[in-house]
Amino acid sequence: MQNTRLSFVMTKNKNFKFFLLLFLFIILIFSLLVFKVNVLQIINYQSDKIIWEQTVEDGDDFSIKYLHSVAKTPVIEFFEIKDGKILLTGTEYQSYGAGLPTSAEQGDYIVADDKFIIKNIDQKLPEIMLRVSDYAQHEFIYNEKNYKLYENVKTETLLQIKTEKFSYLRFILRRY
């Protein structure tokens, strides 16, 4: 009778472990489905191919740098991630050229160190559409790393820069 009792306890213990592992697995999958990750992406608009992507959090920032087509001087536009969206926060350039502002409709206009700087623009953008060219030498700057877009994609390629929210599970699975 003792063997029967021992086997009953062992069977009960195995069932408990199985259901505990199953329960933990279901919690893990549920968490991966419910919790979201915000991703900043650069996409080739025509082919819908992801060129670059990175998970981001509110407060992360990036820049786009290029040479002005007429003045051939650098222009840098500054962006921040806020509430999961792209926010244009400022711009900096060295000369007045076609398309560059001479005053600030939004933000603070400053002239310093032979540069024109507009800060505190704080304009939400649903996306950034950027046509890359080798003459403008477009660069994407994130975490102090420069990604020379003009060297990585063909000239005249239209890129879309946007944020996207994914569940952690979808984010993990789409990489495979």
Which pLDDT tens digit goes with each residue over 50-75? 999 999 999 999 999 999 877 788 99
Q: Output DSSP code: residue 133.
A: -
DSSP string, 64-75: EEEE-TTT--EE
**Is the same domain home to 147 and 123?**
yes
Q: Do 138 and 56 fall within a single domain?
A: yes
Q: What is the pTM of this model?
A: 0.78
Same domain, 81 and 102: yes
Q: Do 30 and 52 lie in a common domain?
A: no
More reliable by pLDDT, 94 or 120: 120
Q: Do 95 and 44 have their domain in common?
A: yes
Tell me: do 80 and 130 sit in the same domain.
yes
**Residues spanned by the domain of 114:** 38-173
pLDDT per position as a tens digit, 79-88: 999 999 999 9
Same-domain check for residues 47 and 25: no
Tell me the C-alpha distance between 166 and 38, whole Å: 7
d(CA 35, CA 55): 14
Domain count, the chain: 2
150 shares a domain with 87? yes
Q: Looking at the structure, do residues 17 and 47 belong to the same domain, yes or no?
A: no
pLDDT for 6: 46
